[in-house]
Chains A and B, each alone.
Chain A
Amino acid sequence: MIPAEFNYEVADSVDHALSLLAGYGPEAKLLAGGHSLIPMMKLRFARPSALVDIGRIAALSYVEQDDGHIRIGAGTRHHDVHHSPLIEAGCPLLSFTAGLIGDPQVRHKGTIGGSVAHGDPASDLPTVLLALDAEFVLTGSGGATRVVPASDFFKGFFETAIGPEEILTEIRVPKLGASSGWSYLKFSRRAQDWAIVGVAAIVERSNGGIGSARVALTNMGATPLRASSVEQALAGAERDAIPAAAAMAPEGTSPTSDTNAGANYRRHLADVLVGRAVEEALGGP
């Protein structure tokens, strides 16, 4: 399968990429690792008139930290997120999950920014970043930036808050503290597969019980979703409250039925996996 014809431009900076995008108009697309876009172009689900390659902008690939945050350049590959000592120390949930994406070859090319910008509800990192209350830095013409919290970022199926002439440049993740436990459970049938359902859980432990919990779901609707009813039921609760809270996981979701699973089975999986993920995040007996 060969993509339809397109113009190809290499951007050497974010500014350059923005001016190329503006020049080619709304039919142009950014190319990062290409591991979502190229398969779609081969199937001709996507037919951009031009690709602006941001994959060579070295300044978009970095991991840094300040007091409370890890800051990750949008062009950082899954492989590098997975192996970053800074992320491992400050936010192990994120480095762990990056290692579950696809396979080594995919992780050598795919980027965190591409995964977030693509807006596929079956992707793993968007769910984890939603649970972590991450923020996304968008850069527009003239270098103007705006910061969008994850809760306002995912708008619909393959739809995000990124404007047509904006580039996602940085992902900011609040560090997890010593009292935070975490889990990401990805249910799939075969190695390399996408999640049929995935669950991210972060638990602030307090006196052996749950102080508060953040829970987010992969592939349970058009976007990654926070399981707010579960979070409310777990706030200040003891371990034995977990099963009843997990049973609320399907509330407010709208999973699809496809060849991998029916909607009812996905709701069942959400219940079971939320229970397991919260247990794992809480840790202990």
Chain B
Amino acid sequence: MGTRRVSLRVNGVPQEAEVEPRTLLVYFLREGLGLTGTKVGCDTSSCGSCTVLMDGESVKSCTLLAVQADGREVTTIEGVAEGGELHPLQRAFQENHGLQCGFCTPGMVMAALGYLQKNPTPSEESVRLALEGNLCRCTGYTNIVRSILAAAPAMNGHAAAEAGVPGG
């Protein structure tokens, strides 16, 4: 049984660790690396509060082994803001009251980020479908969807600014 060496990048930072093969990615992130922004809600693959990006795609980190992330690029909620500045998506959640207790929020933001990066001009319906794997017990989703729709144009400007496109 023993342990296995994994090396991966988490929020851009290279990490190496010895893990038991049965270690779930979410516990490796939370307990191994102290990145407690990623939440464990249901622990049964349903609620999406443990959502992180792996190579840019949303996944439920309670349903992945840390060894499956070996060699991959993982992004958690801690890696979304840049230089102390909230990401446009985070700002949109704040401005549109996209959260109440906040427990589902890291997972919502990561699911939405993975989605918006591939679908920069979403419709309301497509945003709702993109959130199928994320449950919220507080908001009734309306303001979450509103936040994500508000973030899309702001993110496009953000990406354009990063790429040095004038007026983007």
A residues contacting B by CB (< 8 A) are: 1-8, 10, 31, 34-35, 38-39, 41-42, 51, 53, 55, 79, 102-106, 108-109, 191-192
Contacts and interface: CB of A to CB of B under 8 A. Distances in A.
Given A2-B22, A38-B65, A108-B58, A8 B4 contact: yes
A54 B13 CA distance: 27
Closest CB pairs A-B (n = 3):
A103-B133, A8-B21, A103-B132
A106 B43 CA distance: 14
B101 interface: no
22 contacts: A2-B23, A2-B27, A3-B22, A5-B20, A6-B21, A7-B1, A8-B4, A34-B63, A39-B44, A39-B45, A41-B22, A51-B21, A55-B68, A102-B133, A103-B132, A104-B114, A104-B130, A104-B133, A105-B59, A108-B57, A191-B132, A192-B133
Interface string B19-61: 0111110010000000000000001111010010010011110
Nearest to B1: A5
B106 to A, nearest CB: 14
B115 interface: yes
Contacts of A8: 4, 21, 65, 67
Interface of B: 1, 4, 20-24, 27, 43-46, 48, 51, 54, 57-60, 63-65, 67-68, 111, 114-115, 130, 132-134
A66 B59 CA distance: 33
B59 A109 contact: yes
A228 B46 CA distance: 35
Nearest to B43: A1
A243 B37 CA distance: 54
SS class, residues of chain A in contact with chain B: mixed
Contacts of B57: 79, 108
A4 B132 CA distance: 30
B63 A109 contact: yes
A265 to B, nearest CB: 23
A105 B21 CA distance: 22
Contact of A106 (B1, B22, B60, B68): B60
B45 A104 contact: no
Contacts of B132: 102-104, 191-192
Contacts of A53: 67-68
Given A53-B68, A105-B60, A106-B133, A2 B24 contact: yes
Given A35-B45, A38-B64, 11 more contacts: A1-B43, A2-B24, A4-B22, A5-B1, A8-B21, A39-B44, A42-B24, A53-B67, A103-B48, A103-B132, A104-B114
Nearest to B52: A105
A182 B58 CA distance: 31
B68 A34 contact: yes
